[in-house]
């Protein structure tokens, strides 16, 4: 179904702070035919982000981050997550440029080649957030340390892991956030081809 099957009745701002919440009143076409009844839904306006899994094909290592996440804390999950590099895309920015900028800010590394993994919508039942995922070539020989921007309250630990150990952490559930899981699983499927092309 396309947007042609949606009747927007009203749209109001329910909250406008650090993030924005929009309340939609709408009806949409039903698979059995006709339009459904009115539904009211709040949508969390998150915006678009770019995320990159830094990968050293020579050392066969990935660079990962560990940082506090209030959403995980609020959900009753471990509050310090192991993640890949990520940042919000500002209006007019290219996602690949954001991936490069954020890798320098959060991991202290410069990206070489970039391979697009894909664009995904993170939680379509109630959030607009989309993420452009990449795998980026790095030299991880001297990777690691504490990074982040003080004025944004960032406290980010960057570290390296052999790819197999990172993949084990996905399989065990220790790495449990969507961007990281998707990217590491993508690398598991494409690693040999990437190593041939990047070395």
| Residue 109: Cβ within 10 Å count | 23
* Residue of 4, 66, 102, 152 marked catalytic: 152
192 in active site: no
Residues belonging to the chain: 199
Under DSSP, the state recorded for 4 is G
Q: Give the torsion through C-alpha atoms of 177, 180, 181, 186, to 10 deg.
A: 160
Please name which of 159, 113, 138, 170 lies closest in space to residue 55, comparing C-alpha atoms.
Answer: 138
Contact (CB, 8 A) for 177 and 77: no
Contact (CB, 8 A) for 135 and 113: no
Please name which of 69, 182, 44, 178 lies closest in space to residue 124, comparing C-alpha atoms.
Answer: 44
What does residue 58 show for φ and ψ, rounded to 5 degrees?
-75, -50
Residue 30, classed as helix, strand or coil, is coil
Bridge partners (DSSP) listed for residue 61: 56, 162
Active site residues: 152
């Amino acid at each position: 179904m396309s947007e042609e099957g949606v009747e927007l009745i009203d749209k109001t701002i329910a909250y406008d702070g650090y993030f924005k919440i929009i309340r939609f009143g709408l009806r949409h076409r039903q698979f059995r035919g006709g339009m459904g009844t009115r539904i009211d839904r709040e949508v969390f306006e998150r915006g678009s982000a770019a995320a990159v899994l830094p990968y050293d094909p020579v050392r066969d290592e990935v660079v990962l981050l560990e940082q506090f996440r209030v959403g995980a804390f609020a959900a009753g999950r471990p509050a310090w997550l192991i993640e890949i590099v990520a940042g919000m895309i500002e209006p007019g920015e290219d996602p690949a440029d954001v991936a490069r900028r954020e890798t320098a800010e959060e991991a202290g590394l410069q990206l070489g080649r970039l391979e697009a993994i894909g664009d995904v919508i993170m939680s379509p039942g109630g959030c607009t957030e989309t993420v452009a995922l990449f795998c980026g070539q790095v030299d991880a020989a001297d990777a690691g340390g504490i990074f982040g921007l003080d004025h944004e309250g960032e406290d980010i630990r960057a570290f390296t892991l052999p790819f197999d150990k990172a993949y084990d952490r996905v399989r065990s559930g220790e790495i449990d956030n969507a961007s990281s899981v998707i990217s590491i699983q993508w690398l598991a499927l494409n690693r040999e081809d990437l190593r041939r092309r990047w070395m």
